[in-house]
């Protein structure tokens, strides 16, 4: 990989040790308060559960615990290296994408999965990522999503793709399973794209036919269906836009896909299959359908791009359908300037599966219209082809003329045979032609109900069970179009009456959906099953109810159909009738005993559905039959909420007349008035106020109805509320007034109204922000100008000390910045951290705003609290254009911050090569040092930025320059595992044996931190294995102390001495024992380490394991023959050390292995004495239970009880004076 990519990956590399039950991450931090460098910090992550499995491994939930509390969570994706090799998959691509996009995340564009880092072992690579408790989008496809919800999700996905494509990446596997849910109802939807396993950078040569993506969401060019593209063409970002179109289609159709098979995609691309927009029309408005069409375009170059996909009318705020009002913009709880409105799903259009019969009905109607066939006054009217065609699928595009069938007798006479033959010929079917299609003629006859033609074709012996492209038989076709006589013919010929077509519909479903009672009766007489369900769980009763076919529904009821049968989403026939406002059918069902309170999956009753779509007569009927007005759906919304949300005044009035509780609240505490206000239903709001709805009632976030009207810019509703006495200064839980909301969302007319009515222009939110702050932060120039005209304080600060100018500068709103400067805003005003507006513009790379500030006189040398100038900030974030501007304007390139660092130091530390090169061209000093005497090369090496380090070396940076602790750049690269940088430094002549102040070489540092690749490099370059630091430690000691088994094994293979001792007489085995590194200890023993070797205090490795409580290591030593009775210079055994430090488990192990209870150390101390002196109650109980002599005295005559008393361990004294039968009870207390 390129050096920049390697640098980025190195930044995210986590040091880890993987154990069976947890993973340990080791990091190092400087503790300046206590004067310590590189203090070791451990964090343990425990596997909680498996979240899922993929092609190359599994994904697990891991938790980080402190005590009994879970303090953090993450998802860890395991990628098995063997599988990747067999599939020739480069996992670094996914790593690079995750790393790249994690660096891009900010508060405004948090739409890509967060990446915390990666680690690996010999078998697998582990990717630590953000965990989503709500899972992925796929599990919500079968939920009834409204159009506003689909828009919210789509906006996030489009923004994600915009960021990816701008950075040169294509995702290539976009699908609902790779879109993760951060927030959902009752909050606004917030999703993120993840799983970058198939992602590719621009310029990566991928053959057009190279596999990528999931078939149902895969662009046609992957399969070679776009003939204009050469096979050598590379994939473009357009593949993601096709996938986006498929995702939006799935969201709108509860999981369906536009092209379920590769053949369908191929036909569409070749013009043989129309765009499948019928299903979309049930959920999306015309602009939404057009958006999907503009994505699902055959040629990649003609599809919307991620940039242009942000601008179509459908995705613009405020472009919403009447019955599908939009959700608010997804904001965090801390920035709750836009409402979290209730979930539109339960009060929006019926989900696709609930109305799927309607799709077939409309499809058939469209086909009849296109082909000329339609029902008219009982006559079959159709059009005939003017030329010969045999392709049934092309009939819809054939020019036709209109004629009418004459009546045909039951038996086929010769004259009728001739007429039937003529009709077929006129329709384009010549029975004697070579290209005659029996199948096409068969379906044509069934579709148009021509009995004579059907009889003629039956004589030819056709396959009566043959199916068309939609899996329908001729019986389906006849039933759909109400042709009883033809249907009877098919049944008499033995056609399967229960055969299912597309979406699992039988002939009875089709007859019911289209209201053909005679056909339905015939089918029932012939044994059709009334309880047979289609793919979405609907029986024939459901479509009859949905389309209001009372006679068909009555027939089914007479035949004993289950009136309470439920579809997959638990809708009954009563729900369907209420949904479409079919009062007569609903009345029929109620007369037959239908359960009026039965609920769908989302908790809606028939009354909710009638309210949703404004069917007043059905709602009145339901109330007369006892429907509960206070019944709530899963979102705790009543029918009144639903009516208010959708603006159905008459229905709402009916409910109020019937005594509904006007103040009842939904899940998020919103009343009907909140909903009417948020969605601009003035008439409903006026009605509710007439009925004394509370204007000041608050939802769970403290919003009143006025807040909702202000947030969405509904001036008429806001004016109404003010006329009725609504309080302008009422605040929500975060301190927002109505004026804040209007300012945040750029509603100038509403803001002007509030100011005219006396709103406090200086009102502050909880974070200290005024309306002017919000207008400036969001770039609303006209609103900001209004506030300034009305006297808003231009210098007022929020809690962070930011003025409006700071906020406008941070977010690159040049027009607002210019306005504020014209109105006299202080350009040098500092916020709490000492930064000015220029600092913020520099930090965020806003060159135009920075230039404007400089033209207005902003000081380039002004420093914040950390001593950073604007140049420092531009350098930190790599904003080269801004840095160049500052230098052209005279910025001091050598100015230092509080840590003594120049802009070059910061550019080097963050790996910004282009900026570093610019600084060097402008004369920046390479050897300038910070307060720790670090040079820019030290910083580049420490952070693994090879390209920057190479640049510095080309400019003759000093290789052997040392920092305050004597570290060279090579030490820093080694300590942090940056192999590429270390190799570069060695190639340029770095001294591999140079030592820091306390004698360590670069090899020591690499070994301490387990960087195998760097260690191997150093050994290849001749690093001394036996070199010792000032404490006598070799590199092997360092590896052993930190438990790096792989590095330790490498050293042993290279001849490192196992018996080498440091200044304290410790061998590598001692160090492994001290820190409990069992795997390393086992390795050393396998390689012949002396298990009884003693340090300067006479202690063996077993003594150290005992002293530090490492039971597993102690057990290993005993298995390998370590002596339990070996004594140190104080004549202590391992049992003494375990007892002295309170390690009960280790002491129990020793006793089980026969350790002597009464063995005495110097001065006659037994294990019981040392446990008593230190107050270790559990160990005392153990020793006493094993028979320790409670009366034993040391050389001074002290018993264990006396020693415990002397140490103030009262409970231990009680234990030592209590009979054994009661001892453990005292200990537990």
Looking at residue 667, its pLDDT comes to 82
- The topology (CATH level 3) of 3-129 is Phosphorylase Kinase; domain 1 (3.30.200)
- How far is the C-alpha of 92 from the C-alpha of 6, rounded, in Å? 10
Distances (CA, A) of 1212 to 882, 1160, 1166, 1174: 70, 21, 16, 10
- The backbone region for 570, taken as left when phi is positive above 0, alpha when psi lies in -120 to 50, beta otherwise, is left
**Contact assessment for residue 610 and residue 581, using Cβ atoms and an 8 Å cutoff:** yes
Helix (H) or strand (E) holding 190: strand 190-193
CATH number assigned to the domain covering 137-330? 1.10.510.10
pLDDT at residue 937 tops 70 = yes
**Contact assessment for residue 1186 and residue 1153, using Cβ atoms and an 8 Å cutoff:** no
- How far is the C-alpha of 695 from the C-alpha of 705, rounded, in Å? 6
Distances (CA, A) of 375 to 366, 405, 548: 12, 12, 18
Task: Please report, for the chain, the start and end positions of each structural domain, with discontinuous segments joined by +.
Answer: 3-129, 137-330, 352-531
> What is the crossing angle of helices 438-448 and 484-492, to 10°?
130
Among candidate residues 937, 882, 931, 874, the one with its CA nearest the CA of residue 905: 937
Residue 376, phi then psi, degrees to nearest 5: -145, 110
State pLDDT tens for residues 409-440.
345 678 888 888 888 888 888 888 888 888 88
Looking at residue 54, its pLDDT comes to 65
352-531 is classed in which CATH architecture?
A: Alpha Horseshoe (1.25)
Instruction: Establish whether the linkage from the previous residue to 186 is cis, with ω within 30° of 0.
Output: yes
Task: Dig out the tokens for 815 from the structure.
Answer: 């027009």
Looking at residue 294, its pLDDT comes to 94
- How far is the C-alpha of 770 from the C-alpha of 792, rounded, in Å? 9
- How far is the C-alpha of 681 from the C-alpha of 647, rounded, in Å? 5
Q: Give the length of the chain.
A: 1229
pLDDT at residue 245 tops 70 = yes
Q: Which of 253-257, 267-271, 826-830 has the highest mean pLDDT?
A: 826-830
Instruction: Give 532-574 as a DSSP string.
Output: ---TTS--THHHHHHTT-HHHHHHHHHTT--TT---TT---HH
What is the gyration radius of the CA atoms in the chain, in angstroms?
39
**Contact assessment for residue 553 and residue 573, using Cβ atoms and an 8 Å cutoff:** yes
Among candidate residues 190, 181, 244, the one with its CA nearest the CA of residue 213: 244
- The backbone region for 382, taken as left when phi is positive above 0, alpha when psi lies in -120 to 50, beta otherwise, is beta
pLDDT at residue 3 tops 90 = no
Among candidate residues 495, 577, 504, 568, the one with its CA nearest the CA of residue 535: 504
pLDDT at residue 1154 tops 80 = yes
- How far is the C-alpha of 610 from the C-alpha of 868, rounded, in Å? 64
Looking at residue 427, its pLDDT comes to 80
Q: Across the chain, what does the average pLDDT equal? A: 86
Among candidate residues 1022, 1023, 1020, 1058, the one with its CA nearest the CA of residue 1039: 1058
**Contact assessment for residue 578 and residue 609, using Cβ atoms and an 8 Å cutoff:** yes
State pLDDT tens for residues 1122-1134.
999 999 999 999 9
Residue 382 CA neighbour count, 13 Å, CB half: 25
Contacts of 1039 (CB under 8 A, 6+ apart): 1007, 1008, 1010, 1047, 1048, 1051, 1068, 1080
- How far is the C-alpha of 406 from the C-alpha of 413, rounded, in Å? 14
pTM: 0.66
Looking at residue 106, its pLDDT comes to 44
Distances (CA, A) of 1021 to 178, 338, 557, 977, 1016: 45, 62, 90, 16, 9
Q: Would you place residue 378 in the very low, low, confident or very high pLDDT band (cuts 50, 70, 90)?
A: very low
Chain-centre distance for alpha carbon 1217: 62
pLDDT at residue 790 tops 90 = yes
Contacts of 616 (CB under 8 A, 6+ apart): 610, 648, 650, 651, 654
What 3-state class would DSSP assign to 79? strand
Q: Which of 46-55, 400-409, 1088-1097 has the highest mean pLDDT?
A: 1088-1097
Instruction: Give 610-667 as a DSSP string.
Output: HHHTT-HHHHHHHHHTT--TT---TTS--HHHHHHHHT-HHHHHHHHHTT--TT---T
What 3-state class would DSSP assign to 424? helix
3-state class percentages of the chain: helix first, strand second, coil last, to nearest 5: 45, 10, 45
Looking at residue 254, its pLDDT comes to 86
Evaluate whether 3-129 and 352-531 have a shared fold: no
Sign of the dihedral defined by the CA atoms of residues 428, 432, 436, 437, in that order: positive
- The backbone region for 431, taken as left when phi is positive above 0, alpha when psi lies in -120 to 50, beta otherwise, is alpha
Looking at residue 186, its pLDDT comes to 66
Quickly tell me which residue has 């079959």 as its tokens.
380
Contacts of 624 (CB under 8 A, 6+ apart): none
Q: Would you place residue 94 in the very low, low, confident or very high pLDDT band (cuts 50, 70, 90)?
A: low
- How far is the C-alpha of 1100 from the C-alpha of 1124, rounded, in Å? 10
pLDDT at residue 963 tops 50 = yes
**Contact assessment for residue 445 and residue 482, using Cβ atoms and an 8 Å cutoff:** no
- How far is the C-alpha of 521 from the C-alpha of 542, rounded, in Å? 16
State pLDDT tens for residues 675-695.
999 999 999 999 999 999 999
Looking at residue 260, its pLDDT comes to 87
Mean pLDDT of 220-228: 72
Looking at residue 1096, its pLDDT comes to 97
Contacts of 138 (CB under 8 A, 6+ apart): 175, 176, 177
State pLDDT tens for residues 861-907.
999 999 999 999 999 999 999 999 999 999 999 999 999 999 999 99
Sign of the dihedral defined by the CA atoms of residues 709, 710, 711, 713, in that order: positive
Among candidate residues 732, 868, 863, 622, the one with its CA nearest the CA of residue 331: 732
**Contact assessment for residue 124 and residue 23, using Cβ atoms and an 8 Å cutoff:** no
State pLDDT tens for residues 792-845.
999 999 999 999 999 999 999 999 999 999 999 999 999 999 999 999 999 999
**Contact assessment for residue 541 and residue 528, using Cβ atoms and an 8 Å cutoff:** no
Looking at residue 1084, its pLDDT comes to 97
Residue 859, phi then psi, degrees to nearest 5: -85, 125
E strands, 7-143, are: 16-18, 22-31, 36-54, 57-66, 69-80, 115-120, 124-129
Chain-centre distance for alpha carbon 600: 28
Mean pLDDT of 501-528: 95
CA dihedral of 232, 236, 238, 239, whole degrees rounded to 10: 70
Looking at residue 48, its pLDDT comes to 85
**Contact assessment for residue 159 and residue 109, using Cβ atoms and an 8 Å cutoff:** yes
CA dihedral of 173, 177, 180, 183, whole degrees rounded to 10: 140
Looking at residue 370, its pLDDT comes to 30
Instruction: Give 760-824 as a DSSP string.
Output: -TT---TTS--HHHHHHHTT-HHHHHHHHHTT--TT---TT---HHHHHHHTT-HHHHHHHHHTT
**Contact assessment for residue 1006 and residue 1014, using Cβ atoms and an 8 Å cutoff:** yes
- How far is the C-alpha of 201 from the C-alpha of 101, rounded, in Å? 13
- How far is the C-alpha of 1133 from the C-alpha of 465, rounded, in Å? 90
**Contact assessment for residue 431 and residue 459, using Cβ atoms and an 8 Å cutoff:** no
Contacts of 777 (CB under 8 A, 6+ apart): 769, 804, 807, 808, 810, 811, 813
State pLDDT tens for residues 1198-1225.
999 999 999 999 999 999 987 654 444 4
Burial readout 523-539 (b: 16 or more C-beta within 10 A, e: otherwise):
bbebebebebbbebbbb
Helix (H) or strand (E) holding 985: helix 979-987
Looking at residue 454, its pLDDT comes to 86
């Amino acid at each position: 990989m390129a050096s920049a990519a390697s640098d980025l990956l190195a930044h995210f590399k986590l040091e880890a040790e993987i154990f069976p039950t947890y993973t340990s991450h080791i990091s190092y931090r400087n503790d300046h308060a206590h004067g310590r460098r590189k203090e070791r910090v451990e964090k343990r992550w425990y596997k909680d559960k498996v979240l899922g499995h993929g092609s190359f491994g599994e994904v697990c939930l891991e938790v980080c615990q402190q005590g009994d509390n879970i303090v953090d969570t993450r998802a860890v994706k395991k990628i098995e290296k063997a599988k990747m090799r067999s599939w020739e998959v480069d996992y670094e691509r996914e790593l690079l994408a995750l790393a790249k996009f994690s660096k891009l995340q900010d508060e405004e564009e948090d739409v890509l999965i967060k990446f915390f880092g990666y680690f690996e072992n010999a078998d697998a690579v582990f990717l630590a990522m953000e965990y989503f408790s709500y899972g992925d989008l796929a599990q919500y496809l079968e939920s009834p999503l409204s159009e506003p919800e689909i828009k919210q999700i789509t906006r996030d996905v489009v923004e994600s793709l915009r960021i990816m494509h701008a950075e040169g990446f294509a995702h290539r596997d976009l699908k609902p399973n790779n879109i993760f849910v951060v927030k959902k109802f009752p909050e606004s939807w917030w999703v993120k794209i993840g799983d970058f396993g198939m992602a590719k950078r621009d310029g990566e040569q991928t053959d057009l036919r190279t596999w990528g993506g999931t078939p149902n969401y895969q662009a046609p060019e992957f399969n070679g269906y776009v003939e204009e593209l050469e096979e050598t063409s590379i994939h473009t970002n357009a593949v993601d836009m096709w996938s986006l179109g498929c995702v939006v289609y799935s969201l709108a159709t509860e999981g369906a896909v536009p092209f379920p098979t590769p053949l369908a995609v191929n036909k569409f691309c070749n013009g043989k299959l129309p765009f499948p927009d019928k299903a979309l029309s049930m959920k999306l408005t015309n602009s939404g359908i057009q958006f999907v069409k503009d994505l699902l375009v055959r040629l990649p170059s003609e599809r919307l791009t991620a940039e242009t996909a942000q601008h179509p009318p459908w995705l613009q705020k405020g472009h919403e359908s009447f019955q599908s009002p939009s959700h608010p913009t997804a904001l965090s709880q801390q920035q709750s300037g836009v409402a979290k409105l209730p979930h539109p799903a339960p009060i929006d259009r019926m989900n696709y599966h609930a109305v799927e019969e309607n799709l077939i009905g409309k499809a058939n109607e469209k086909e009849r219209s296109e082909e000329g066939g339609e029902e008219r006054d009982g006559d079959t009217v159709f059009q005939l082809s003017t030329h010969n065609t045999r392709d049934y699928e092309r009939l819809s595009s054939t020019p036709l003329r209109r004629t009418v069938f004459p009546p045909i007798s039951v038996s086929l006479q010769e004259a009728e045979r001739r007429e039937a033959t003529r009709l077929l010929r006129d329709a384009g079917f010549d029975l004697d032609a070579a290209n005659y299609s029996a199948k096409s003629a068969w379906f044509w006859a069934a579709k148009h109900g021509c009995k004579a033609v059907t009889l003629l074709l039956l004589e030819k012996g056709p396959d009566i069970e043959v199916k068309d492209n939609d899996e329908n038989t001729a019986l389906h076709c006849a039933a759909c179009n109400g042709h009883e006589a033809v249907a009877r013919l098919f049944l008499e010929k033995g056609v399967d009456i229960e055969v299912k077509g597309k979406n699992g519909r039988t002939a009875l479903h089709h007859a019911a959906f289209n209201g053909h009672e005679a056909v339905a009766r015939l089918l029932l007489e012939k044994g059709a099953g009334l309880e047979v369900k289609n793919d979405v769980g609907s029986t024939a009763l459901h479509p009859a109810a949905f389309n209001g076919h009372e006679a068909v529904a009555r027939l089914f009821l007479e035949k004993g159909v289950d009136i309470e049968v439920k579809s997959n989403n638990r809708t009954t026939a009563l729900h369907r009738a209420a949904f479409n406002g079919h009062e007569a059918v609903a009345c029929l069902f109620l007369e037959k005993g239908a359960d009026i309170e039965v609920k769908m999956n989302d908790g809606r009753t028939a009354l909710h559905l009638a309210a949703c779509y404004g069917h007043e007569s059905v709602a009145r009927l339901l109330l007369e039959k006892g429907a509960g007005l206070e019944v709530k759906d899963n979102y705790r919304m009543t029918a009144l909420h639903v009516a208010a949300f959708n603006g159905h005044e008459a229905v709402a009035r009916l409910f109020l007349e019937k005594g509904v509780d006007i103040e009842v609240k939904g899940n998020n505490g919103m009343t009907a008035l909140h909903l009417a206000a948020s969605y601009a239903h003035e008439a409903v709001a006026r009605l509710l106020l007439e009925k004394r709805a509370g204007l000041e009632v608050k939802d769970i976030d403290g919003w009143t109805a006025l807040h909702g009207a202000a947030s969405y810019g509904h001036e008429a509703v806001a004016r109404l509320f003010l006329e009725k006495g609504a309080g302008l200064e009422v605040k929500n839980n975060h301190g927002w007034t109505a004026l804040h909301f209007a300012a945040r969302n750029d509603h100038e007319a509403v803001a002007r109204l509030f100011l005219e009515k006396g709103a406090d222009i200086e009102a502050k939110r909880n974070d200290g922000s005024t309306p002017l702050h919000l207008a400036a932060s969001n770039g609303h120039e006209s609103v900001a100008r209004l506030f300034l005209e009305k006297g808003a304080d231009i210098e007022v600060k929020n809690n962070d000390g930011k003025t409006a100018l700071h906020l406008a500068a941070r977010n690159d709103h040049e027009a607002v910045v210019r306005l504020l400067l014209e109105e006299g805003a202080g350009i040098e005003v500092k916020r709490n951290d000492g930064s000015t507006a220029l600092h913020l513009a520099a930090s965020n790379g806003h060159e135009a705003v920075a230039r404007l500030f400089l033209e207005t006189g902003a000081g380039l040398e002004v420093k914040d609290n950390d001593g950073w100038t604007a140049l420092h900030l531009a350098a930190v974030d790599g904003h080269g254009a801004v840095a160049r501007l500052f230098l052209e304007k005279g910025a001091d390139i050598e100015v230092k911050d509080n840590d003594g660092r120049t802009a070059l130091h910061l550019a080097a530390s963050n790996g910004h090569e282009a900026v570093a090169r610019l600084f060097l061209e402008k004369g920046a000093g390479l050897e300038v040092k910070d307060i720790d005497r670090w040079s820019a090369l030290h910083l580049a090496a420490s952070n693994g930025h090879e390209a920057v380090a190479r640049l510095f070396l080309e400019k003759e940076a000093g290789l052997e320059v040392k920092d305050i602790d004597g570290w060279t750049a090579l030490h820093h690269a080694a300590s942090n595992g940056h192999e590429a940088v270390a190799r570069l430094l060695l190639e340029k002549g770095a001294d591999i044996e140079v030592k820091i102040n306390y004698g360590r070489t670069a090899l020591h540092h690499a070994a301490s931190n387990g960087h195998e690749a760097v260690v191997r490099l150093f050994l290849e370059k001749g690093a001394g294995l036996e070199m010792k630091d000032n404490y006598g430690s070799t590199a092997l000691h360092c590896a052993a102390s930190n438990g790096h088994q792989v590095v330790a094994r490498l050293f042993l293979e290279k001849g490192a001495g196992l018996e080498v001792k440091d200044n304290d007489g410790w061998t590598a085995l001692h160090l492994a024992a001290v820190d409990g590194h069992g795997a390393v200890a086992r390795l050393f023993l396998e390689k012949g380490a002396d298990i009884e070797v003693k340090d300067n205090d006479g202690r063996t490795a077993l003594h150290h394991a005992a002293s530090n409580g490492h039971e597993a290591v102690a057990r290993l030593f005993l298995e390998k023959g370590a002596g339990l009775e070996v004594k140190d210079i104080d004549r202590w055994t391992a049992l003494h050390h375990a007892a002295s430090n309170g390690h009960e488990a280790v002491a129990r192990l020793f006793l089980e292995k026969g350790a002597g209870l009464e063995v005495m150390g110097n001065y006659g101390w037994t294990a019981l004495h040392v446990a008593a002196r230190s107050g270790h109650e559990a160990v005392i109980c153990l020793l006493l239970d094993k028979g320790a002599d409670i009366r034993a005295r040391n050389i001074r005559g002290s018993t264990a009880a006396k020693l415990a008393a002397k140490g103030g361990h009262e409970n231990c004294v009680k234990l030592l004076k209590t009979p054994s039968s009661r001892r453990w009870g005292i200990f537990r207390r």
